[in-house]
Amino acid sequence: MTQLAAAPTPSVRVRAPGKVNLSLRVGAPQDDGYHPLVTIFQAVALVEEVTARQVPEGAGVQLTVEGPQSERVPLDETNLAHRAAVLLAERVGVAADVALHLAKGVPVAGGMAGGSADAAATLVACDALWATGLSRDDLLGLAAELGSDVPFALLGHTAVGTGRGHLLTPAMTRGEFHWVFATRDDGLSTPEVYGRFDEQADGAHDPELSEDTALMQALRAGDPHALGAALHNDLQDAALSLRPDLERTLDVAREAGALGVLVSGSGPSVAALARSRQHALAIAATWTAEGAADAVWCTSGPAPGARLLA
């Protein structure tokens, strides 16, 4: 029996999450300049919402954005959502004519993969809008071409990432973890942080990156105290050397009783693990009172990956 493709929908809405790296272990750069990683991602409930709407033939990709710090988001073809729409259109042989509206809920340029979430949501939205018939694996392949963190924004929940961070294995977790993020108005450049990391390693990179067993156990047990003690980021010293004021943000969270605190990904966002939602709010209030953050964000993880909204 032949299956007919569903009629294209005029407009679709997709939500995709930001992330925190619970653990990030980084090896020596390869010939392509990328660093091999062993990382454990957790998706959090700070989300990007992308609405994709059909536009007349020849209109191209039209991008609009709303939300906190949206003035910092480029609206040209360098935007990852724009690139995602063009890449998908090329791959399936349709014209890249679509209006994309990004409602931002993930801090911009903070090491929390907000741009990657936009790209993942755009892939899912345009896939539905254009009824491409691609498989989930096809979409994961396109996601990896767009950026190292994009496949995880498709998958969500908690996962171990290897390769550039794009090869994913879901991790078992129990319960909900309460997070609070301190963000800065001026971001850090990811390549610059990796560059400083290489300078600091001075040729003595860790030759064997291994998965964090204590951290994986803490996740399986749903034990926030053990998870807090196991948080780790190889890029933290590099981020701190570029932004020494982040040290105080880490200290203030520790003094406020955070179970663990670390720079998120390549920074400059700082993530603190709290005992409860109430405790997360208390840490956020202390960060604000001490002037140790430009903005604070309370949330929880794990959260689902990119999905269509009804």
Which residues are catalytic, by number?
Answer: 19, 149
Nearer to ligand C5P, 21 or 148 (CB): 148
Quote the least distance from Cβ 285 to ligand C5P, whole Å.
Answer: 33
Smallest gap, in angstroms, from Cβ of residue 40 to ligand C5P? Answer: 14
> Smaller CB distance to ligand C5P: residue 105 or 114?
114
By beta-carbon proximity to ligand C5P, the closer residue of 104 and 164 is 164
Between 37 and 292, name the residue whose CB sits nearer to ligand C5P.
37
Q: What is the DSSP letter of 301?
A: E
Of 93, 115, 119, 96, nearest in space to 105 by CA? 115
When the beta carbons of 127 and 149 are compared against ligand C5P, the nearer one is 149
Contact call for residue 49 and ligand C5P (CB under 6 A): no
**Segment near ligand C5P (CB under 6 A), from 63-71, 144-152, 236-244, 276-284?**
144-152
- Closest contact distance (angstroms) between CB of 306 and ligand C5P is 17
The least CB distance from residue 144 to ligand C5P, in Å, is 9
Cα–Cα distance for residue pair 300/310, rounded to 1 Å:
23
Quick note: the x/- pattern for ligand C5P over 188-217, rule CB under 6 A, is --xx--x-----------------------
Alpha-carbon span 79 to 303, nearest angstrom: 24
Q: Does 34 bind ligand C5P (CB under 6 A)?
A: yes
Of 134-142, 145-153, 254-262, 271-279, the segment contacting ligand C5P by CB under 6 A is 145-153
Instruction: For residue 2, give every residue at least 6 positions away whose Cβ sits within 8 Å of its Cβ, in sequence order, or none.
Output: none
> Minimum distance between the CB of residue 196 and ligand C5P, rounded to whole angstroms?
11
The only residue of 42, 79, 148, 249 in contact with ligand C5P, by rule CB under 6 A: 148
Q: Which residues pair with 61 in a beta bridge?
A: 98
Least distance from C-beta 46 to ligand C5P, angstroms? 18
Torsion of CA 89, 94, 96, 101, to 10 degrees: -80
Interacting span for ligand C5P (CB under 6 A) from 12-20, 28-36, 171-179, 298-306: 28-36
Quick check: 147 binds ligand C5P (CB under 6 A)?
yes
Residues 160-179 that bind ligand C5P (CB under 6 A): 164-165
| C-beta closer to ligand C5P: residue 266 or 286 | 266
Which residues form the interface with ligand C5P (CB under 6 A)?
33-35, 37, 147-149, 164-165, 190-191, 194
